[in-house]
């Protein structure tokens, strides 16, 4: 391997670009090559579910062009280039017919949307939105349309429901759960968000699923398992994400729910690292921005020569439902304790307390959402 081999970063999402920025703060010389399957525009993915609320089209959500990123970060960027394999022994990436040598390789290639296989001839009207290009395609298809059905009542489904209502679209949400964001919010907080969204005009069809999507005119008719039928112009599928692990597993890297890395973001193969939505860091798969920022800062230090472990602090998440502001910090999955809830209308303060009364997690809605900062200081960090 030549000593001139570059650091290669696969992915130009928040993980890849944040890492490159952090490296360049400390080292402007080491050659870096970034590779991305998409157009390489820099954007903040959480903003995709705020377009109507902020009055922005897809172009308005882009923060910098690929050329601007190349100049700013002094690196080589290859857009519309898909990695098809990794050869850890040779220290090479496989890009179709081509091979590219690396000194260090960073996998920041995100998570794939889960696609349901639903019967019916209306599939072309179904959109998943997991990057800026997806969002651009969705906004183009939305021109002149009025009715959107959303499959999934998780964080992303609820945020799009609020945003589309703010854009004056009719919104139906279909989901198998009894409540909204079931993995994230305790029931009273979920009910508060539901009442906020219903107050805005969102219609919920819970405890059922879409079984059939038939083309009808320029839109579709959805048939639900409970027998209901809904007409819509477009459908958003927001039923979940799965870390991209296949290429890593095929190359012999350890994978589990994500690509397995330790706190130094090292995979099981020498000189290969992973962070962001694709990574399982010391047992944690957290598809959020705060963990990837902390990881990028630690990994940049390692890559410039000072091996550094990431330490996850408290990781609260703001749910972007302005009709019912919501902040949540879920307790660890193995935490023992109970939710203590104060609720008045849409204002809910739910604290998850352990045996000695210590706060291990929280969910805050309405006027209590502002308590997020103060409570985050009480909750123990993920990595003590």
Range in contact with ligand FAD (rule: CB under 6 A) among 37-45, 188-196, 263-271, 360-368: 37-45
Give 223 or 235: the residue with its C-beta nearer to ligand FAD.
235
Cα(295)–Cα(352) distance, integer angstroms: 27
Q: Which residues in 128-147 contact ligand FAD (CB under 6 A)?
A: 130
Q: Considering the rule CB under 6 A, would residue 100 count as an interface residue with ligand FAD?
A: no
Q: Does 108 bind ligand FAD (CB under 6 A)?
A: yes
- Residue 221, token pair as written in the block: 């008719």
Q: Which residue pairs, CB below 8 angstroms and at least 24 apart, start in 138-141? A: 138/234, 138/236, 139/51, 139/57, 139/58, 141/234
CB of 202 to ligand FAD, least distance (A): 16
Q: Which two tokens stand for residue 253?
A: 């890297």
Smallest distance, Å, CB 159 to ligand FAD? 6
Options 153, 222, 317, 328; binder of ligand FAD; rule CB under 6 A: 317
Residues in 232-271 at the binding interface with ligand FAD, rule: CB under 6 A: 244
Total length of the chain: 384
Binding status of residue 82 toward ligand FAD by CB under 6 A:
yes
Q: Pick out residues in 147-176 that bind ligand FAD (CB under 6 A).
A: 156, 159
Out of 6, 9, 12, 258, the residue judged to bind ligand FAD by CB under 6 A: 12
- The C-alpha atoms of residue 236 and residue 160 are separated, in whole angstroms, by 9
Cβ count near 3 (within 10 Å): 5
- DSSP annotation of 184 reads T
C-beta atoms surrounding 220 within 10 Å: 27
In angstroms, rounded to a whole number, what is the distance separating the alpha carbons of residues 157 and 237?
Answer: 8
Lay out the site mask for ligand FAD across 46-75 (x = CB under 6 A, - = otherwise).
Answer: x-xx--------------------------
Q: How many residues bind ligand FAD (CB under 6 A)?
A: 34
Of 225, 39, 247, 244, the C-alpha closest to 137 is 39
Q: Contact between 274 and ligand FAD (CB under 6 A)?
A: no
Residue 205, interface with ligand FAD (CB under 6 A)?
no
Distance CA 128, CA 240 (A): 10
Window contacting ligand FAD (CB under 6 A); options: 104-112, 183-191, 249-257, 260-268: 104-112
Nearer to ligand FAD, 208 or 376 (CB): 376
Q: Is 237 helix (H, G, I), strand (E, B) or coil?
A: strand
21, 27, 45, 263: residue in contact with ligand FAD (rule CB under 6 A): 45
What is the Cα–Cα distance from 60 to 145, expressed in whole angstroms?
A: 21
Among 88, 154, 276, 316, interactor with ligand FAD by CB under 6 A: 276
Quote the least distance from Cβ 271 to ligand FAD, whole Å.
18
Told to check if 38 binds ligand FAD by CB under 6 A, we report: yes
**CA 150/CA 160 separation, integer angstroms:** 8
d(CA 154, CA 240): 8
Helix ranges (H only) for 103-175 are 132-142, 155-166
* DSSP secondary structure, 348-371, as one string: EEEEEE-TTS-EEEEEEEGGGGGG
The residues of the shown chain that bind ligand FAD, judged by CB under 6 A, are: 10-16, 35-38, 45-46, 48-49, 82-83, 108-110, 130, 156, 159, 244, 276-277, 287-290, 292, 317-318, 320
């Amino acid at each position: 391997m030549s000593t001139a081999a570059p650091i290669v970063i696969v992915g130009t999402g928040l993980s890849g670009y944040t890492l490159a920025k952090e490296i360049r703060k400390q080292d402007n010389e080491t050659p870096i090559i970034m590779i991305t399957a998409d157009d390489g525009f820099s954007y903040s993915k959480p903003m995709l579910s705020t377009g109507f609320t902020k009055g922005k089209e897809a172009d308005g959500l882009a923060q910098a062009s690929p050329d601007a990123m190349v100049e700013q970060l002094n690196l080589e960027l290859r857009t519309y280039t898909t990695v098809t394999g990794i050869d850890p022994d040779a220290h090479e990436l496989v890009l179709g017919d081509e091979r590219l040598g690396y000194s260090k390789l960073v996998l920041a290639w995100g998570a794939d949307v889960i696609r349901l296989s639903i019967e019916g001839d209306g599939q072309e009207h179904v959109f998943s939105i997991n990057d800026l290009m997806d969002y651009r395609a969705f906004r183009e298809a939305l021109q002149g349309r009025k009715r959107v059905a959303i499959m999934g009542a998780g964080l992303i489904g609820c945020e799009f429901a609020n945003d589309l209502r703010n854009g004056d679209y009719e919104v139906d949400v279909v989901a198998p759960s009894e409540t909204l964001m079931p993995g994230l919010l305790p029931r009273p907080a979920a009910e508060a968000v539901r009442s906020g969204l219903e107050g805005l005009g969102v219609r919920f069809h819970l405890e059922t699923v879409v079984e059939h999507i038939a083309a009808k005119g320029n839109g579709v008719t959805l048939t639900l398992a409970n027998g209901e039928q809904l007409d819509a112009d477009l459908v958003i599928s927001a039923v979940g994400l799965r870390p991209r692990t296949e290429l890593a597993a095929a190359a012999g890297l350890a994978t589990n729910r994500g690509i397995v890395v330790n706190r130094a973001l090292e995979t099981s193969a020498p000189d290969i690292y992973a962070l962001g939505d694709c990574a399982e860091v010391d047992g944690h798969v957290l598809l959020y921005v705060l963990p990837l920022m902390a990881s990028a800062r630690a990994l940049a230090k390692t890559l410039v020569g000072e091996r550094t472990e990431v330490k996850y602090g408290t990781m609260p998440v703001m749910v972007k439902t302005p009709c019912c502001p919501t902040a949540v910090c879920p307790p660890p999955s193995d935490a023992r304790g109970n939710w203590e809830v104060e609720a008045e209308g849409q204002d809910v303060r739910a604290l998850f307390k352990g045996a000695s009364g210590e706060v291990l997690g929280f969910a805050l809605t309405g006027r209590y959402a502002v308590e997020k900062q103060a409570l985050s200081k009480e909750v123990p960090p993920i990595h003590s």
